[in-house]
């Protein structure tokens, strides 16, 4: 099966956005400010965050002390980074 070029671009874009906007606090899916607020699948599900859409809402609007990033990322960027975070969480953040 030939890899989907659009899929590869989307993944690369989501990763790049994460590195530029999120990794400062969420290194490898962790959280340097509040250890219990990680992006690991168990922590996400425990808080009812169970889809890329739920992550996109938080990315867009913010939550707790985290500001929203809609102005910086735009809706397309919000969706790209949310999908990438969800995929990483599903894979135990092994892709880096």
Q: Between 8 and 50, where is the model more confident?
A: 50
Burial classification of residue 39, based on how many CB atoms lie within 10 Å of its CB (0-12 exposed, 13-18 middle, 19 or more buried): buried
What kind and span of H or E run contains 72?
Answer: helix 70-90
Residue 32 has pLDDT above 60, yes or no: yes
Check if the beta carbon of residue 54 is closer than 8 Å to that of residue 48: yes
Q: What is the CATH number of domain 5-90?
A: 1.10.760.10
- pLDDT per residue as tens digits for the range 40-73: 999 999 999 999 999 999 999 999 999 999 999 9
> Rounded to a whole number, what is the distance in angstroms from the first to the last CA of the chain?
24
**Whether residue 6 has pLDDT greater than 60:** no
Pull the structure tokens for residue 38.
């990680």
Give the predicted TM-score (pTM) of the model.
Answer: 0.87
Please say whether the dihedral angle defined by the alpha carbons of residues 60, 84, 31 and 21, taken in this order, is positive or negative.
Answer: negative
């Amino acid at each position: 099966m030939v890899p989907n070029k659009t899929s590869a671009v989307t993944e690369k874009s989501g990763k790049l956005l994460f590195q530029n906007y999120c990794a400062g606090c969420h290194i490898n899916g962790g959280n340097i400010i509040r250890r219990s607020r990680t992006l690991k699948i168990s922590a996400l599900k425990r808080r009812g965050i169970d889809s890329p859409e739920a992550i996109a809402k938080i990315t867009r609007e913010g939550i707790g002390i985290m500001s929203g990033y809609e102005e910086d990322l735009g809706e397309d960027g919000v969706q790209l980074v949310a999908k990438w975070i969800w995929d990483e969480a599903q894979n135990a953040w092994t892709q880096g």
